Amino acid sequence: MRTTIRFAAAVCMAVGVLSGISSSGANAADFPAGSKMAELAKLGKIKVGTQTQYPLIGMKTLSGYEGFDVEVAKLIAKKLGISESNIEFVPVTTPTREPFLQQNKVDMVIAAYTITPSRWKVIDFAGPYLPSPSGIMVQTGNPLKVKAFPDMEGKRLCAPSGSSQEAYLSKNFPKVRETAVLFDSSAKCAQAVINGQADASTTDIPILAALAKQNDGKLEVIDFQYDLATWGIGLPKTDDKSFCQWINKALSESYSDGSWADAYKKTIGTVVPGAVPAPPKSSNCSENG
């Protein structure tokens, strides 16, 4: 009986030790005590907010989540010693990303999240991890002959509500913004163009290219881009920037070892023309950096 008890105790101790270890070999002891990294590594789980309707970026399928943002989440989780099966992907939309971080519903948001000064005021950003210009998508054949924003005056340009594109229109093309159509996702804007609710849609070019591919033959991205921006990893606002700085280090390592480029090439790199973009320089985790 005593032998059985000792054996059971040994098993429990072994399980306790191994629970924080993954194929990367990382565990809570590898991080500063009390840090967010140590907390997540000890827990062995992480909650990541991501889009669900963006093919090749953040897409929910019958088998789970897939896309470039999902691959970036996996790279970060692995550095924490967290297995892919212990990443809890939480669906977010463009308008819900900041509230989910402010309410601590997620540990981070990786969701085609453009870094902007207004967002910096309410959340923190790690990264950036991808340069991303915006563009315009129309029905195949471009029946309205759209070449740039002046061609959209008096027409219905669809943009995600709360997006950087909506803000850009308001500031630079108020006449276009007056007749704009807003939805909570770029996927809904794509469908609006297909079914005639909108004349064109605008968002980041990687998203447009992926949506055009998904709706093959119905949509095309015109040869026009504007407002070169970058995608970042959203984090809850805090004075302690150590988690943000650690993520930047993890991203830098993924640039150096080729895992970031591999993730890009097998996802959005299949639809965005040109070579793999140069990784953007990381910020110093402050609004001015």
Q: Quick one: 123 and 187 in the same domain?
A: no
106 domain-assigned = yes
Q: What percent of the chain has pLDDT over 70?
A: 91
What are the strands, taking DSSP E only, across the chain?
46-50, 53-54, 58-61, 64-66, 87-91, 108-109, 123-139, 157-160, 181-183, 200-204, 219-236
Q: Quick one: 97 and 180 in the same domain?
A: no
* Count of residues in the chain: 289
Give the 3-state secondary structure of residue 15: helix
Kindly give, in sequence order, each residue whose CB lies less than 8 Å from that of residue 47, ignoring residues fewer than 6 positions away. Answer: 88, 90, 105, 106, 107, 108
Q: Quick one: 204 and 244 in the same domain?
A: no
Q: Quick one: 34 and 77 in the same domain?
A: yes
Residue 142: the pLDDT is 97
pLDDT tens digits for range 158-213: 999 999 999 999 999 999 999 999 999 999 999 999 999 999 999 999 999 999 99
Q: Quick one: 109 and 177 in the same domain?
A: no
Q: Report the C-alpha gap between 85 and 70 in whole angstroms.
A: 12
283 domain-assigned = no
Q: Quick one: 174 and 242 in the same domain?
A: no
Question: Residue 163's CB: how many other CB atoms inside 10 A?
Answer: 25
Structural domain harbouring 266: 17-131+230-270
pLDDT tens digits for range 232-286: 999 999 999 999 999 999 999 999 999 999 999 999 999 998 899 999 999 889 8
Q: Quick one: 110 and 240 in the same domain?
A: yes
pLDDT tier, 10 (very low <50, low <70, confident <90, very high otherwise): very low
pLDDT tens digits for range 202-246: 999 999 999 999 998 899 999 999 999 999 999 999 999 999 999
Task: Answer whether 0.75 is exceeded by the pTM.
Answer: yes
Is the separation of the CB atoms in 146 and 138 below 8 Å?
yes
Q: Report the C-alpha gap between 201 and 216 in whole angstroms.
A: 16
Q: Report the C-alpha gap between 205 and 226 in whole angstroms.
A: 10
The mean of the pLDDT values for the chain is 91
Q: Quick one: 116 and 249 in the same domain?
A: yes
CATH number for the domain that contains residue 211: 3.40.190.10
139 domain-assigned = yes
193 token code pair = 């163009």
Q: In what order do the strands lie in the sheet with 200-204?
A: 87-91, 46-50, 108-109, 219-236, 123-139, 200-204, 157-160, 181-183
Q: How far is CA 268 from the centre of its chain?
A: 12
Q: What percent of the chain has pLDDT over 90?
A: 85
106 token code pair = 């997620």
Q: Quick one: 143 and 221 in the same domain?
A: yes
pLDDT tens digits for range 40-51: 999 999 999 999
Q: Quick one: 126 and 251 in the same domain?
A: yes
